[in-house]
Structure formats: structure tokens, C-alpha cells
Amino acid sequence: MGMFEGANVSNLFDALPEDYADTVADEALESARSYADEIYERLRDEYEHMCSEEYIAELCDANEYLFNKKGELL
């Protein structure tokens, strides 16, 4: 026999502390903020890398782009 056998949803919710929903919501929000910060940092780092002179030079070399003295693509 399980500990929840015969219990209904109302009984289960009544057994939870009063502030349980607030605690779960706060923890979920903190977790979401932390994940959003992590994603932002990764995107920022990738953006900075892709805008660097080194990356642009490597990209031009890899694709054999040639430019004239005015900077126009040949």
C-alpha cells in the first residue's frame, strides 16, 4: 500500500506547507533567470568572436575573398 493510496488531490494539497507554491515559483524564476544569464553570456561571447578582426580575416582567407585598395570585393 502506497503512502498516497486513497488520497485525493485536495488531501495532497492540504498536506503541503502554505507557502509551498510561492517557494516553487521563486525557485523556478531564479532557475530561469540563471539560465537566461548563461544564454546571454554565450551569445555575447559568440558575437564578440564573430565581430573580431581575427575572425573576419580568417573568414576572408577561407573563402578566398579579395579586395581592392578601396575595400571593395573583387
Q: What pLDDT, on a 0 to 100 scale, did the predictor assign at position 10?
A: 80
Look up residue 61 and give its three cell numbers.
582567407
Q: What pLDDT, on a 0 to 100 scale, did the predictor assign at position 51?
A: 97
DSSP string, 24-62: HHHHHHHHHHHHHHHHHHHHHHHHHHHTSHHHHHHHHHH
**C-alpha span between 2 and 42 (Å, rounded):** 46
Domain limits of the chain? 9-62
Which of the residues in the chain have pLDDT under 70?
A: 1, 4
This prediction has a pTM of 0.60
Q: What pLDDT, on a 0 to 100 scale, did the predictor assign at position 1?
A: 55
Q: What pLDDT, on a 0 to 100 scale, did the predictor assign at position 60?
A: 94
